[in-house]
Amino acid sequence: MEKKQRVLIVEDEKNIVDILRFNLRKEGYDTQEAYDGEVGLALALQEAPDLILLDLMLPKMNGFEVCKRLRDQGRSTPVIIITAREAEKDKILGLDLGADDYITKPFNPIEVIARVKSQLRRYTSLGGKSG
């Protein structure tokens, strides 16, 4: 049996975590959740998920910092930023810090799943995970 791919959800709004977890599990992914940036970064480093869904406005450490530190550690795990912030400069900064894609709230779960699949496919075809 093929091992399930695991998605780490880093988001402090519980209802959004619930929506994402429900939809990802329905699609056959395993999920892990973190409700602040520090725990999110720790899990990203320790558990080496296949993909990270990352909110920007988080307690303790914001999503930009999580993404930056992850990349500073040499991790190339795909990161999709999910945020209410629509400012163009936030989007550019996020991509500059090594995020792979960007979704703004309110989102359609179908779109999130499509982007998760797209990133995982792209990443796998590039030669799999490091770190």
Residues that bind Ca ion (CB under 5 A): 12, 55, 57
Question: How far is Cα 124 from Cα 15, in angstroms, rounded to an integer?
Answer: 30
Closest separation between CB of residue 71 and Ca ion, Å? 21
Closest separation between CB of residue 41 and Ca ion, Å? 15
User: By Cβ distance, which residue is nearest to Ca ion?
Assistant: 57
Query: Cβ closer to Ca ion: 55 or 100?
Result: 55
Question: How far is Cα 43 from Cα 17, in angstroms, rounded to an integer?
Answer: 16
**Bond preceding residue 49 cis, omega within 30 of 0:** no
Query: Cβ closer to Ca ion: 59 or 131?
Result: 59
| CA distance between the termini of the chain | 24
Query: Cβ closer to Ca ion: 14 or 121?
Result: 14
**Exposed/middle/buried for residue 126 (C-beta within 10 Å: 0-12, 13-18, 19+):** exposed
Closest separation between CB of residue 85 and Ca ion, Å? 10
Helix extents (H) in 4-129: 14-26, 37-47, 63-72, 88-96, 109-125
Closest separation between CB of residue 34 and Ca ion, Å? 12
Query: Cβ closer to Ca ion: 60 or 69?
Result: 60
